[in-house]
Structure 1
Amino acid sequence: MSELSEHNKQLAERWIKHCWDGNPDTEGTIEELLGEEAVGFLEGVIVRGLAEFRGFRDTYLTAIPNVRLSIESMVAEGAWVAVRWRAQGELKGPLMGIPPSGKSIDVVGSTWLRFQGDKIVEGHDTWNQGAVLAYLADSPAGAGYLPGERRRIPA
């Protein structure tokens, strides 16, 4: 692996651990790692720049303040880093019209980050947000979502 790829993996790990893991002391890390013109292609929304990212992130961390993310795997090539993560927590505040319920979430997702220098300039997230929100809202559409269920290909 190139030195650039290894360096970008370290930056991606800091981003996940310091910006999304319910860590209250994150403003410095966000300012340090997120480019001013960064674009995030998130589930159902595109965010541009620091202010929009903070608003999106704050919505989730207000609703799930005890969220814990763990990194399951990472791969990197040049400017790109792909992170497979797992998020766990409880719905303690309102989220997109869903009232607080204390329900647990346990979801696996992935984030692709593109770095330019030491700044994130592009990100893509995928984690089946629709099924998780339907589950939290007690919608029949969420009936197939089981927190912590791991789908594996039989050996």
Structure 2
Amino acid sequence: MGATDNKAIVRRIIDEAWNEQDLDVIDELYSEDYTGHWYLPGGEDSDRESLKAFMSDVFEGFPDYEMDIEFLIAEDDLVTMGFTGEGSHEGEFMGIPPSGSEPAGTPTPGHITYRIEDGQVVEGWSTWDALGLLQGLGVLPEDLSAMAPAADD
């Protein structure tokens, strides 16, 4: 498969799995031995099932969650995507009770790099603006300087 085919796989993941909340697409487009480096709480790598569990948590917390692709770059077996995610915080997410914000603060940007073999994602890396999301949900103040320890005189 070439770069164009691999980009089409990523577009399906975003359109169908994230935006239509169809987790069956994950079973189709991610290999059984998938490893995700998603930097989730606990710091452990994820597998296909823990990715689906995380996505379910996102959908529970933000029922109208939508991810927009900002750019896609493909080379060999890698596709890198810049994205922006946004949704109304109407359910619990990562232990944070619903804030009712519409949308939750500003859109949350991030990047995902997918490694694709034989039409399936076998590995992925992701970072996203968790700090900005927590500030948008009101969990952390916009001005973090108030949380800094006082300097010793």
Same fold (TM > 0.5): yes
Q: Which runs of 5+ in 1 are unaligned?
A: 145-155
CA distance in 1, matches of 2:57, 2:79: 25
Structure (1 or 2) with the larger CA radius of gyration: 2
User: Is it true that 1:32 corresponds to 2:28 in the alignment?
Assistant: yes
Query: Which position in structure 2 is the counterpart of 1:78?
Result: 76
Of the three residues 2, 5, 10, the one matched with 1:4 is 2
TM-score, scaled relative to structure 1: 0.81
Aligned length: 139
Cα distance in 2 for residues equivalent to 1:51 and 1:71: 24
Counterpart residue number, 2:113? 112
Q: Is the 8 A contact 1:98 1:137 kept in 2?
A: no
Change (3 A) 1:20 1:138: same
Q: Which residue of 1 aligns with 2:12?
A: 14
Q: How many angstroms does 1:143 deviate by?
A: 4.1
Write the mapping of 1:5-154 to structure 2, written as runs, cut at 5 A: 5-21=3-19, 23-24=20-21, 26-44=22-40, 45-103=43-101, 104-105=103-104, 106-140=107-141, 142-143=142-143
Query: Letter of the aligned partner of 1:116 in structure 2?
Result: E
Aligned Cα root-mean-square deviation (Å): 1.8
Which structure has greater strand proportion?
A: 1
- % identical aligned pairs: 26
Q: Structure 1, residues 61-81: CA drift from partner, whole Å, max 9, x if none?
A: 110110111111100001000
Structure 1 residue identity aligned to 2:34:
A
One-letter amino acid matched to 2:87: G
State the Cα deviation string for residues 45-102 of structure 1 (Å, max 9, x = none): 4443322111111111110110111111100001000011111111110112211011
5+ long unaligned stretches in structure 2: 145-153
**Which whole-Å CA distance do the structure 2 matches of 1:28 and 1:19 have between them?**
8
1:36–1:50 Cα contact (<8 Å) kept: yes
- Runs of at least 4 residues of structure 1 off by over 6 A? none
* Structure 2 Cα separation of the partners of residues 56 and 133 of structure 1: 17
Structure 1 Cα separation of the partners of residues 140 and 34 of structure 2:
34
Q: Compute the displacement of 1:135 (Å).
A: 3.2
Provide the C-alpha distance between the structure 2 equivalents of 1:48 and 1:29, rounded to a whole number of angstroms.
17
